[in-house]
Amino acid sequence: MTVVDDSTLHLLPQTPRLRALHTTIRDRSVDRDTFVLTSGRIIRQLVEAGLELLPFEPRDVQTPVGRTYHGTRVAPPICGVSIARAGESMEAGLRAVAPGVRIGKILIQRDPVTKLPKLYYSKLPADLADRHVLLLDPMLATGGTALAAIDVLIGAGVAQEHIVFVNLLSAPEGIAAVRERFPRVRMVTSSIEERLNENAYMLPGIGDFGDRYFGTD
Ligand code: URA
């Protein structure tokens, strides 16, 4: 399956520095503190790249030396929505670059009987439909959870083109699934992996992100 970087899929520039950060978090022997710190550094870059995709409007400011700087600022109100549990690891990165940002939460898990993703909980700002949403989940594997979460956002009135799905690792299978159902949702990722294994883990991958981040492995 071939995946290209285009107007809906934004892959962070694969610089040596980013590869070094990936090398650290992919290493099975790295300790948890280093994993948390290093994934946080990548998440920060991802969130900045996600904000880059939002509309901007002109904003002039006066500099300390008495000149006008013709700048910009993000135009629409924004909101983060994290997909629990792993997506919560991205909240601090969003708060760091967008102080005071509202953050909603969605919990989706596989139903033990139907095996399909099921919505267990959501808490979203009342005016979500008026906001551009950064949807936060570090892992895009099969895409099942992402599709269910995007359904929730669209059900709450958010336009597809106002959703930016921010994730750390993406499988081609997940990217294709999101694109097929929601062609106008944009995605930002720091890696497009080779594929999924038989247990739906990404390869070369990172293992279970939530377990490694929260120390539950
Ligand atoms: N979730 C993870 O934590 N890792 C994967 O590789 C796939 C889904």
Q: What is the pTM of this model?
A: 0.95
Enumerate the β-bridge partners of residue 189.
Answer: 11, 167
Find the residues whose C-beta lies inside 6 A of ligand 1: 139, 141, 201-202, 205, 208-210
Instruction: Specify the ligand 1 atom closest to the Cα of 202.
Output: 6
Task: Name the residue with the closest Cα to ligand 1, atom 7.
Answer: 201
- The ipTM, to two decimals, is 0.96
- The pLDDT of residue 110: 83
Q: How far is the CA of 204 from the centre of ligand 1 (A)?
A: 11
- State pLDDT tens for residues 190-214: 999 999 999 999 999 999 999 999 9
Q: What is the pLDDT of residues 71-123, one digit of tens each?
A: 999 998 999 999 999 999 999 999 999 999 999 999 999 888 887 899 999 99
Residue 138 CB neighbours (<10 A) = 27
Distance CA 160, CA 185 (A): 5
Give the CATH number of domain 9-214: 3.40.50.2020
